[in-house]
């Protein structure tokens, strides 16, 4: 039983009252009995992947595509009327990671389609409010969407379908539904006939089967409120909306109007991918009614049993413990978030949570992401240096540590393979990577692991992090040119520091007049300028025999000039090493570090204050003579002995043995404390 409970990954909604697990599971089984799980055929490509399938109540279902390795994948895109925010980021980043994993790890032949909803009530209203032309308005917000996607390095789908391009197809589709008997025209608007659909034995809704038919929402507020008179049944949802004045409109057999929201996905997805479709994804808030309606429409049009085989849903992002949706004022836009965090940190923030779970927005999560990001970045930098400095002609024989790392690498690959199969369980994948990295870091520090093996580990880590869309490559390929000059720069600076510490000013002058650096083809001019200026200033300072200034100049070169170019110098004992970063990232990293330090200092300060206060209280307490300690407690006691120890309670009754014992102990403790205080006083006076 417990095993079964662990396997099922079901979200219990408010509408299901609490029952025993037994009854619940039985009901679950019945509720999703309509789902036809694809079976393994002779040419099936079976990887062992299991997905939390909303078609089966989010149970883990083995993923079997219809046609060999081919996977047809559709996911809901944006309704373009406002800025891209963090909630969107979670959904699209989640899908991005899933796509990469399906394609690059499991080698499926993936064809991905994403729609753009560019005809919608919210867009029309938004354009009116902004006093803009409808088309112009959608163009602006579509551009904003794609810019945001690009800034987060989210891959574009293979196909983009805009609703406004598919009006003819939508009309044809609706006509088919009508002719199949599942929709009707009333007053220029077309509605889906839910009663007829149910009466003919169809299941609806498929993914929220526990919903009471009477409670069925339509999903488009407007129709539900305004057009009840046109509908056969309250729950019928709109497919085609009769035109209203001053609204964009298109021609149809039922008059002028525009598509409803739900119909768009059914039409565009099947236009490209046909029927049935392997995989459909979207945010969890779309499950019902939007996704269920999409399915009903398609199944009503094609007269098929099951339009989508696997439906997966991305979890919500709760912001300040509230659902991240536009109707709330306090949302976070991508522009603002990118001022605080890098795209990589944002990705990691989400990747450390399962894609289909609800998640709270919190600074702590981000800090965890920042920390992991730094770990990875350091790992790649350190291994790069280790490999850069290793000689292939050096010792290569495997020692115990090499076998250890190799075994760990193989174990890690096994664990990660299993966890990726397990509904893309990336949090555990990241844990496994962390363990591997930690071990390798230790071996690298001790120089007890062969470089080719390190290289193999690095390549594997790169590959897995690539599935998350994380890229730690240094952005320049002219690194060989920079390598040469940077080696020289570090050497000069190290020599200056050493000579300065020895007060050898003439030597310094020699060092910095050896070579005037020239611009060379493709060489970083910035570095050239830095080092020439450094040499100049050091020359003067050494002529003035100004040690302090000399050290300051060395620091300035490291912390400001080269830092601004994205070059980080790390002073290691006598020799320094250099690493190259994206200048923007380096700057952001420093800001985040400073912020962290500030926070720590604030916490420390608060604790110190708190401690100080406590000490004061203790001091005051210790000044009290034990014989006075109970005197004020007249609400408890009425009579005291010569030492101030209570003998009678407030009612005049003698204290019990136990009470006596207690007050005597307290008296002793206070006596001790007070004597210590007196001793302290004496010492101070001496």
Size of the chain, expressed as the number of residues it contains: 686
**Residue 101 Cβ, how far from a copy of itself at the closest point, in Å?**
12
The residue range among 1-9, 407-415, 504-512, 549-557 that interacts with a copy of itself, by the rule CB under 8 A, is 407-415
Q: Report phi then psi at 573, rounded to 5.
A: 45, -110
For residues 522 to 541, the per-residue mask of contacts with a copy of itself, x marking binding by CB under 8 A and - elsewhere, is xxxxx---------------
Figure out which of the listed residues 199, 225, 392, 634 binds a copy of itself, where binding follows CB under 8 A: 392
The residue range among 181-189, 410-418, 498-506, 627-635 that interacts with a copy of itself, by the rule CB under 8 A, is 410-418
User: How many chain residues interact with a copy of itself (CB under 8 A)?
Assistant: 52
> DSSP of 282-296, one letter per residue?
EEGGGIIIIIHHHHH
> DSSP of 258-286, one letter per residue?
EE-HHHHHHHHHHHHH-SSEEEEEEEGGG
Figure out which of the listed residues 152, 267, 453, 663 binds a copy of itself, where binding follows CB under 8 A: 453
**What is the rounded CA–CA span in Å between residue 612 and residue 619?**
10
DSSP 397: -
- 149 or 372: whose CB is closer to a copy of itself? 149
- 11 or 390: whose CB is closer to a copy of itself? 390
- 98 or 317: whose CB is closer to a copy of itself? 98
Figure out which of the listed residues 100, 162, 627, 664 binds a copy of itself, where binding follows CB under 8 A: 162
The reply on whether position 139 binds a copy of itself by CB under 8 A is: yes
Figure out which of the listed residues 156, 213, 540, 631 binds a copy of itself, where binding follows CB under 8 A: 156
The reply on whether position 456 binds a copy of itself by CB under 8 A is: yes
The reply on whether position 109 binds a copy of itself by CB under 8 A is: yes
- 50 or 161: whose CB is closer to a copy of itself? 161
**Residue 562 Cβ, how far from a copy of itself at the closest point, in Å?**
12
The reply on whether position 347 binds a copy of itself by CB under 8 A is: no
The reply on whether position 143 binds a copy of itself by CB under 8 A is: yes
List binders of a copy of itself among 355-374 (CB under 8 A): none
**What is the rounded CA–CA span in Å between residue 162 and residue 593?**
43
Alpha carbon distance, N-terminus to C-terminus of the chain: 76
Closest CA relative to residue 240, chosen from 291, 331, 174: 174
Pairs from 480-487 (Cβ < 8 Å, separation ≥ 24):
481/520, 481/522, 481/523, 481/524, 482/523, 482/524, 482/527, 482/580, 485/517, 485/523, 485/524, 485/527, 485/528, 485/531, 486/527, 486/567, 486/578
The reply on whether position 34 binds a copy of itself by CB under 8 A is: no
Closest CA relative to residue 313, chosen from 350, 346, 286: 286
- 369 or 458: whose CB is closer to a copy of itself? 458
Q: Find out whether 316 and 284 touch, Cβ atoms under 8 Å.
A: yes
The reply on whether position 673 binds a copy of itself by CB under 8 A is: no
The residue range among 124-132, 135-143, 254-262, 377-385 that interacts with a copy of itself, by the rule CB under 8 A, is 135-143
**What is the rounded CA–CA span in Å between residue 17 and residue 9?**
18
For strand 637-640 and strand 646-649, is the pairing parallel, antiparallel, or unpaired?
antiparallel
Pairs from 196-200 (Cβ < 8 Å, separation ≥ 24):
197/296, 197/300
The reply on whether position 399 binds a copy of itself by CB under 8 A is: no
The reply on whether position 165 binds a copy of itself by CB under 8 A is: yes
The reply on whether position 393 binds a copy of itself by CB under 8 A is: yes
**What is the rounded CA–CA span in Å between residue 113 and residue 45?**
21
The residue range among 31-39, 141-149, 172-180, 541-549 that interacts with a copy of itself, by the rule CB under 8 A, is 141-149
- 272 or 507: whose CB is closer to a copy of itself? 272
- 452 or 503: whose CB is closer to a copy of itself? 452
Burial class (CB in 10 A: 0-12, 13-18, 19+), 441: middle
The reply on whether position 683 binds a copy of itself by CB under 8 A is: no
Positive or negative, the CA dihedral 255, 256, 260, 264 is positive
- 169 or 230: whose CB is closer to a copy of itself? 169
The reply on whether position 471 binds a copy of itself by CB under 8 A is: no
**Residue 526 Cβ, how far from a copy of itself at the closest point, in Å?**
4
The reply on whether position 68 binds a copy of itself by CB under 8 A is: yes
For residues 588 to 627, the per-residue mask of contacts with a copy of itself, x marking binding by CB under 8 A and - elsewhere, is ----------------------------------------
Tokens of 276: 């049935």
For residues 268 to 297, the per-residue mask of contacts with a copy of itself, x marking binding by CB under 8 A and - elsewhere, is ---xx-------------------------
**What is the rounded CA–CA span in Å between residue 177 and residue 239?**
10
The reply on whether position 77 binds a copy of itself by CB under 8 A is: no
Figure out which of the listed residues 8, 38, 69, 625 binds a copy of itself, where binding follows CB under 8 A: 69
**Residue 491 Cβ, how far from a copy of itself at the closest point, in Å?**
22
**Residue 518 Cβ, how far from a copy of itself at the closest point, in Å?**
10
The reply on whether position 562 binds a copy of itself by CB under 8 A is: no
**What is the rounded CA–CA span in Å between residue 234 and residue 232?**
7
- 449 or 569: whose CB is closer to a copy of itself? 449
Tokens of 434: 């962390």
Positive or negative, the CA dihedral 673, 675, 678, 680 is negative
**What is the rounded CA–CA span in Å between residue 409 and residue 405?**
6
**What is the rounded CA–CA span in Å between residue 124 and residue 261?**
13
Closest CA relative to residue 260, chosen from 302, 303, 231, 229: 231
Alpha helices of 152-273 — where are they, by DSSP H? Answer: 167-179, 194-199, 221-226, 261-273
List binders of a copy of itself among 415-434 (CB under 8 A): 417
Which chain residues interact with a copy of itself by CB under 8 A?
68-70, 105, 107, 109, 111, 139, 142-143, 146, 156-162, 165-166, 271-272, 392-393, 395-398, 402, 406, 410, 413-414, 417, 450, 452-453, 455-456, 475-478, 519-526, 565
């Amino acid at each position: 039983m417990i095993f079964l409970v662990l396997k099922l990954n079901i979200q219990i909604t408010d509408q299901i009252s609490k029952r025993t697990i037994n009854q619940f599971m039985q009901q679950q089984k019945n509720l999703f009995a309509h789902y036809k799980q694809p079976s393994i055929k002779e040419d099936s490509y079976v990887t062992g992947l299991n997905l939390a399938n909303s078609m089966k109540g989010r149970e883990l279902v083995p993923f079997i595509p219809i046609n060999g390795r081919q996977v047809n994948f559709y996911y809901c895109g944006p309704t373009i009327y406002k800025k891209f925010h963090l909630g969107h980021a979670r959904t699209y980043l989640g899908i991005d990671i899933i796509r990469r994993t399906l394609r690059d790890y499991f080698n499926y032949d993936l064809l991905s389609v994403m729609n753009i909803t560019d005809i919608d009530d919210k867009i029309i209203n938004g354009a009116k409010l902004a006093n803009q032309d409808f088309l112009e308005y959608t163009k602006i917000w579509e551009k904003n969407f794609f810019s945001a996607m690009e800034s987060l390095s989210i891959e574009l789908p293979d196909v983009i379908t805009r609703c406004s391009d598919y009006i003819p197809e939508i009309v044809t589709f609706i006509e088919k539904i009508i002719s199949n008997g599942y929709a009707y025209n009333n007053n220029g608007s077309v509605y889906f006939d839910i009663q007829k659909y149910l009466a003919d034995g169809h299941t609806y809704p498929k993914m929220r089967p526990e919903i009471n038919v009477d409670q069925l929402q339509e999903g488009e507020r407007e129709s539900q409120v305004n057009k009840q008179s046109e509908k056969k049944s309250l729950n019928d949802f709109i497919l085609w909306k009769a035109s209203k004045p001053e609204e964009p409109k298109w021609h149809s057999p039922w008059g002028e109007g525009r598509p409803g929201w739900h119909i768009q996905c059914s039409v565009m997805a099947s236009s490209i991918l046909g029927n049935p479709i392997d995989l459909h994804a979207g945010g969890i808030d779309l499950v019902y009614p939007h996704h269920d309606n999409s399915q009903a429409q398609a199944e009503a049009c094609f007269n098929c049993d099951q339009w989508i085989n696997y439906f997966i849903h991305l979890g919500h992002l709760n912001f300040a413990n509230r659902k991240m949706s536009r109707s709330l004022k306090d949302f976070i836009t991508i522009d603002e978030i990118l001022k605080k965090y890098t795209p990589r940190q944002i990705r990691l923030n989400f990747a450390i949570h399962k894609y289909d779970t609800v998640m709270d927005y919190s600074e702590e999560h981000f800090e965890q992401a920042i920390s992991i990001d730094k770990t990875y970045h350091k790992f790649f930098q350190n291994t790069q240096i280790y490999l850069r400095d290793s000689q292939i002609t050096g010792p290569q024989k495997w020692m115990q540590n090499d076998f250890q790392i190799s075994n760990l690498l193989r174990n890690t690959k096994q664990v990660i393979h299993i966890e990726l199969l397990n509904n893309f369980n990336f949090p555990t994948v990241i844990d496994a990577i962390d363990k591997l990295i930690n071990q390798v870091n230790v071996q690298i520090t001790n120089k007890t692991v062969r470089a080719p093996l390190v290289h193999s580990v690095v390549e594997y880590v790169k590959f897995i992090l690539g599935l998350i869309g994380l890229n730690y490559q240094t952005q320049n390929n002219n690194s060989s040119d920079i390598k040469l000059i940077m080696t020289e720069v570090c050497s000069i600076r190290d020599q200056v520091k050493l000579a300065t510490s020895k007060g050898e000013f003439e030597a310094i002058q020699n060092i910095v007049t050896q070579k005037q650096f020239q611009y060379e083809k493709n060489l970083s001019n910035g570095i050239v300028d830095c080092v020439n200026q450094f040499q100049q200033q050091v020359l003067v300072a050494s002529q003035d025999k100004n040690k302090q200034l000399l050290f300051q100049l060395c620091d300035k070169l490291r912390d400001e000039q080269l830092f601004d170019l994205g070059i980080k110098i790390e002073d290691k004992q006598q020799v320094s090493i250099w690493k190259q970063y994206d200048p923007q990232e380096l700057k952001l990293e420093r800001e985040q570090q400073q912020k962290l330090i500030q926070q720590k200092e604030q916490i420390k300060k608060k604790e110190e204050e708190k401690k100080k206060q406590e000490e004061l209280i203790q001091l005051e307490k210790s000044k009290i003579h034990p014989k006075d300690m109970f005197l004020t407690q007249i609400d408890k006691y009425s009579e005291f002995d010569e030492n101030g120890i209570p003998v009678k309670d407030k009612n005049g009754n003698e204290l019990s043995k136990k009470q006596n014992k207690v007050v005597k102990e307290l008296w002793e403790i206070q006596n001790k404390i007070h004597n210590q205080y007196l001793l302290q006083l004496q010492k101070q006076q001496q």
